[in-house]
Structure formats: structure tokens, C-alpha cells
Structure 1
Amino acid sequence: MPETALDTEAEPEPESGPVPPGPAALRRPMLLAGGALLAAGAVTVGVLTVGGSGGSGHSADAAGGPRHTTVEVGPSGCGRGWRHAEPGRQVFDLRNTSSTAAEVYLTDAKTGAVYGEVEGLAPGTVRAMRVTLGNGSYAFKCLPDDADAVTGPTVRVTGGGSVKSGPAAVPVTQQDLIPPTLAYQKWIQARTVELVQKTDALRDAVDRGDLAAARAAWLPAHLVYERMGAAYGTFGDADAVINGTTAGLQDGVRDKDFTGFHRVEYGLWHGESASSLRGPADRLARAVRALRDSWPDQRMDPADVGLRAHEILENTLQFELTGRTDYGSGTNLATARANLDGTRVLLGYLRPLLRTRATGLPGIDSWLDRTQRTLDSFQHDGHWTPLAELTRAQREKADSDLGELVERLADVAALTDVRRTA
């Protein structure tokens, strides 16, 4: 598995040619789910092996690869087996000798920054942690399930010369994420007020029977909602009422449960009368008002905020750039642009945490700018080009730029994932 995008130093502005989209859909589970989680890209996790490690100590890889060291994981022997420290690329074969599953960190003994991480190491199993270490002091930290963390002995690496350690990041705690989460909640509150105003304008136009004005009012209102993507999980059932699609509805666009922005969109661009749209527009306006009124009592989960920074544009790739959410207005690219705005806002609140952890943050900013320029090029005199009217080259560029950005944002999700420290 290659190192993650945040491992790189500050990057120059990308060149203008198309870049094939990265494997974002595959990469996220590797980073965020199941058996292992990469901390700042400094560790690669091997395949889970049932049984013991077959020995301890040091050995060379059969193919002449990096040096292997078997390290014990357990409350009474955390880090045992690492005695002859050497600099450079190496593999720690982590063997869980305890009776419970555990997380394992390789940390900077002074700062607590994590160089490598393995989650869910089951009893009697071994996993490989690959790292590059320069001169410094290191220690393994073992975190058994339902037990306190245990820090192993400090091991000093010397003689590294010009060898530099791989990237490391101080773990983010729940407490660290509370301030940006609260700030983002306040931003959402202001957006709900704006959403009510613009949705009322849409409803009023429908009530007057002015469908041209309603079509003009639909997109500005919808885009306000689309910029609020990191809060959708907290909206609960309100999200489906306000912005649901026909997915899973037996009668499709005729289903009684098809409501919200897309229900009104379908009617406005498929010749429905004003009288038939008054009910859907009014229900949308009432749902938006209910969201505004209930939001001050809602509480976003700080542990989810970093993941949302990645999910917003992941969903954009899945739904907007495929046209799955187009019910006649042809404004998927405008929605994608609003989703990009929402991602920027959330990253702004997370930036104080990322500055000291994400060495690839300048690269993310560059790809945000590049993707914005690409999307903006599809707007002319206030009109957004429908997906179906893009040339093949334009589609490829939009897909590749957004795909690369989504891949890089997966590292933000990994770095802001809440980790145990005790």
C-alpha cells in the first residue's frame, strides 16, 4: 500500500493536464474501517495471520527487504522484543500475546506523535507495521480493549545520519474537535436562516403562479442546503424530507413520499401546473422552517466532523457527477460547486488542527483551487452547463480533478479520527 497523500511536503500548483482519478472508493475503507488505520501514512498494515509469529527477534526479509523485528503486544510486555534499534525502513511484526484485542501505536516518546498504528489486533495474531525511523526516541503504546493504555520502554535510535523518520501526527482527541464542531454548528444555524428566506421566495413564486420566477428561485435555495453537507447526519429524517430522491420509492416521482427540493424540481421542469406544485412547495418550506427552529437543540458528534470533510465530495462524485440527482434542472455541476464550498468551510474550522498534522495540506488547497476553476468553467452568464452537454474531455477533467481531491481528503478523515490516548 502506498503512503498517503498527506505524507508529501507542500506541493506546487498541479499542472493543467487531466489526471486519472484516484481510487477514492477503495482507499477510504483502508484508512478508516476494519482492521487497520493509517496515521499520517507512516505505517502499512500487513495481512492478518492466525496463530503465533513463529519466533522473536530480528530477521531479514526473504527477498532482501527491510529488517523485521517481532514485538510483543500485551499489558505485561508492551514493546518487548525491540532491543537492537536501527534507523531506516523496517517492519515490526506485532504479536498480540494477550487475551483481548488491542490497538498499537508506535509513538515519539517525547511528544506522543504517532508514526504507525494498527487497530483491532486480535489475540494470538500478528500484523506487520512498516515504518521509517531516523534518530530519536520511540516507544510502543498498547491499548487493550476495556483496559488502560500501557506504554513500553523508550528505545533510542542513533546513527541514522541523514535518514529522516516518516511523518507523524499527534492523535486528535474528542476534546480537540469540540471547538471546531461548535463553530461549525453556529455557521449551520446562520445557513438555516438563509435557507428559510430563499425557500420562502420559491414557495411564494409558486403560490403566485409565476413558474418562471419559481424556476429562477429554486437553484439559489437548493444550493444553500447543499453547502451544509457536513450536518446532514445530524439533520436526521429532515434530510430525506428536504432533499430526498426517488431512490427506494416504489412509485418513483409519483410516490407520495417523494418530497422536498427534488420533488419541486421535477414539477418545475416537467410541465406541472402551479396548483399541483403548491402542496410540495409549501411542505418544503415548512420542513425547512422546522429544521431552522430545531437546530439550536441539536448536537453534532465531534468524532464525525473530520470524516464529513471527505464524505461531502465523495458523495458528489457518486451522485452529482453521475447525474443521479438530476430531476430536470440540469444543475448537478452547480450542486457540485456548492458541495465544494461546503467542504472549504468545514476545512476552515479544522485547519488549526490540521496545520500541525497534515503536511499535505498545501496540496489539498491546490486541488481545491483547481477543482473550483474546473467547475466554474461550466458556468456562463449564470447558466450551468448540464452534464449531458459536457464534452468527453470536460467530463474526464471534472471527474479526475474531483477524484484526486476526494482521495486527498481521505487523509484528513484519517488524521482527525479520534484515537485513544489512555
Structure 2
Amino acid sequence: MFVVLAVALAGTLLAFSLGGPRHGRAAGAPSGHVVIDVSESHCGRGWTRPEPGVRTFDLHNSSDGAAEVYLEDPGSQAVYGEVEGIGPGTTRQLTVRLGQGTYAFKCVPDDGDAVTGPTVHITGGQRGPGAAPVSEHDLIPPALAYQKWVGTGLDQVVRLTTKLKDGIDQGDLAAARSAWLPAHLEYERLGAAYDAFGDADAAVNGTDAGLPGGVHDKGFAGFHRIEYGLWHGERAGGLRAPAAALVKAVTGLRDTWSQTRMDPAQLGLRAHEILENTVQFELTGRTDYGSGSNLATARANLDGTREVLSRLRPLLTTRYAGLAELQHELDRAGHTLDGFGHGASWTPLASLTRTQREDVNALLGDLVERLASVATLCDPRRTV
């Protein structure tokens, strides 16, 4: 799959695609484009007249295997643009703003060593910001710190879920409804760990999507199964088994978490995916089974995003010029969502005015775009 990774700093797009894939000879490049060879033997060849300003490069892979390409400062290794997944015989475009400095293309074949092309020097002009590459080794400390935090969070999930189960066991469904939201939100804050939870996440927080029997399917389990019963008049007797299964599932997660290993390379991506999923599932109401708490869940997801970013901050401070603005927008989104909370109750999505709905969608949609830059910056790059 062809992917262009855009390194966006301070609102400036450094690398982006100007169109779909083009096949055949790179010599057919539009006028003004610079054709760059992507191969182990001729990496970076073709850039004979380096000039400042916004420039488009046609990266033509003349080798017989896929490759990714970075445009970097060969001294500092700061990356100014990159393109992944350039197939053999395929041309992709990379547009960057060039200025005073030194540049070289680095070709990284899927099954070979990285090769750095000829160095070129540009005088004059203001180039776009670059970002030093992040290695998996750089990401290990923040991943370990985040994993420790998740372990503490799972302790709280077990405690709050047990309280939910106790209310159901005692037949006090009013108490169970009061206990459901705090337990669910505590789990939702652990968003970046979902991938590491594996199949257990479906048992804890799955929906009825894809189940033949829908909400009445035997495979429908976890928080949303209990939510559906609590807000659709189901008797306590029918909820005792799902509640017991939920407590068993979260207890199992907690007890095995110390042996689980999160992939450090995925931490930046998870910061982006948490709110991407929020927009897709919470702001559309697809995960509402009666409690009307989607906005509360969105607020918990926002907290979860902050937790990931707090661990990545040492890496982002020197790489992401838009970090302060991102934090400001996170604060703004949190303040907006808090306005829909009234003690233990939250305004349902359906009760928002059109303007309120548009504001929330715009705020979180903007954050998703900003967090895409975090995912790109924290994506480990091969340098050898």
C-alpha cells in the first residue's frame, strides 16, 4: 500500500502527495519536477540543479523491490520529507520547501541496507522545519512508563467493575447504573493499550457489530452488554452472568499485564488512534446502548490521549513545533466537553443543538489531524 507520511510542524505541511500513483517511465514527469532515482546503486541521482523554494520531486523506483525514501540533512539526519511504499517501477511525488542547508536522499529498500545519495547544498531561502528521526530505542522508556500507568489503571478498573457487579448481584439496578459509567470511563482512559489487550478487549468493551443476533447474541459481552440491559429494563437475574464475566475478564487483564509487552513503535500511532476512534464511534453514537454517555467517553478518551502525550513529551519537545498549540487545543476540547457533564449525568448526543454538535466534531476532528503529526514523528525510521 502506498503511504505518504506528512511531517507537519507548526501547521506547515512538509511532505505530501500531489496525486495518485503513476506508472511507466519517470521521464514523463511534469515540467518543473525533478526526477530522483530510487535504487541501491543510484539513490538520489538526478538532482543536478538544487534551488530554494517549494519543489516537487518525482521519486522513481528503478529497482525490483519496494522502498521508502527520506529527504534529510545528512549531518543531523533531520528529516524534511518522506514517502513509504514506493513499488518497483513506480513513481511517487514528494513536495517540500527547501532553503539554506544541506540535503541528501536516503533510499531504504524493504530487504536491503539503507543507501544515502549525493549531498547537495542550497544557499538562500527559508526551508521548512525538519525532525530528527526517532528510534525504537528512544521509545522504550516512554512505553515502559505508560505500561506501568496502565497497570495502575487496571487496578482501578477491577475495583470499579466489582462495585458494578455487586449492585447487580444485590438486585439494586439503580446502584448498578450509577456504578456503570465510572467503571467504563476508567477502562476507556487506557486507550493506547487496547492493541496489547488482544482478544480480551472484545470481552470487556466489545459491541454487537457483526454478531448474527445483535444485542441478543450470546457473544455480546462486556460493558456494553451490561449497559444495554441496565437501560432497557432487563432484570438483575439476566445481568448477573455478564457482570461476573466482565469482572473475570478485567481481573485477568490486570493479573497478566506485568507479563504483557506493548510495542514501543506503536505508542505515537496510538495517541492518534484514540481520538480517531472517538470521532468514528463516540461522536456518531454507534457505541450508545442506552446510557447516553458518548460525550463522557469522549472526555475519557481525551484524558487517555493526554497520558500518552505526557510520556512522549521529551521526544516531541525538540521535534514538534506545534506541541504547545496541540496542548492548548486539548485544553479547549476538554473544557467544551466538560460543559456537557452535570455531576454523574451527561448530555446525550441527541440532545445537542446542531451548533454544539458541529463545534464538538470540529474540535476533535482538528485534534485528530494534529495527532497524525505526532504519529508520524514518533514512527521509528530505519537509518541503516
What TM-score, normalized to structure 1?
0.86
Stretches of structure 2 that go unaligned for 5 or more consecutive residues are none
Give the one of 16, 26, 31 matched to 1:53. 26
Secondary structure of the 2:108 match is: strand
Give the one of 140, 143, 156 matched to 1:194. 156
| Alpha carbons 1:55, 1:70 under 8 Å: kept | no
Structure 2 partner of 1:337: 299
| Alpha carbons 1:36, 1:119 under 8 Å: kept | yes
Secondary structure of the 2:106 match is: strand
Deviations 1:334-380 (A, max 9, x none): 11110110011011111111111111112211211111111000012
Secondary structure of the 2:26 match is: coil
Cα distance in 2 for residues equivalent to 1:53 and 1:279: 64
Mapping of residues 238-253 of structure 1, within 5 Å:
238-253=200-215
**What root-mean-square deviation, in Å, do the aligned CA atoms of Structure 1 and Structure 2 show?**
1.7
- Deviation of 1:175 after TM superposition, in Å, equals 1.3
Number of aligned positions between the proteins:
379
Mapping of residues 319-338 of structure 1, within 5 Å:
319-338=281-300
Q: Which amino acid aligns with 2:186?
A: V
Secondary structure of the 2:233 match is: coil
Stretches of structure 1 that go unaligned for 5 or more consecutive residues are 1-32
Closer, same or farther: CA 381–144 of 1 in aligned 2, 3 Å: closer
Q: Which amino acid aligns with 1:270?
A: H
Mapping of residues 11-90 of structure 1, within 5 Å:
34-40=2-8, 41-46=13-18, 47-54=20-27, 62=31, 67-90=32-55
Give the one of 87, 92, 96 matched to 2:61. 96
Matched, 1:307 2:269: yes
Structure 2 partner of 1:363: 325
Deviations 1:181-218 (A, max 9, x none): 11111011001111111111111111122211111111
Cα distance in 1 for residues equivalent to 2:22 and 2:2: 15
Closer, same or farther: CA 378–122 of 1 in aligned 2, 3 Å: same
Q: Which amino acid aligns with 1:38?
A: A
Cα distance in 1 for residues equivalent to 2:7 and 2:109: 18
Mapping of residues 221-260 of structure 1, within 5 Å:
221-260=183-222
Cα distance in 2 for residues equivalent to 1:250 and 1:99: 45
Structure 1 partner of 2:136: 174
Matched, 1:406 2:368: yes
Structure 2 partner of 1:383: 345
Secondary structure of the 2:335 match is: helix
Q: Which amino acid aligns with 2:254?
A: R
Matched, 1:143 2:116: no
| Alpha carbons 1:303, 1:418 under 8 Å: kept | yes
Cα distance in 1 for residues equivalent to 2:202 and 2:328: 34
Cα distance in 2 for residues equivalent to 1:48 and 1:97: 15
Amino-acid identity (%):
61
Structure 2 partner of 1:154: 119
| Alpha carbons 2:69, 2:105 under 8 Å: kept | yes
| Alpha carbons 2:55, 2:95 under 8 Å: kept | yes
Cα distance in 2 for residues equivalent to 1:319 and 1:349: 26
Cα distance in 1 for residues equivalent to 2:28 and 2:164: 71
Cα distance in 1 for residues equivalent to 2:355 and 2:84: 42
Secondary structure of the 1:54 match is: helix
Structure 2 partner of 1:30: none
| Alpha carbons 1:203, 1:278 under 8 Å: kept | yes
Give the one of 240, 244, 249 matched to 1:282. 244
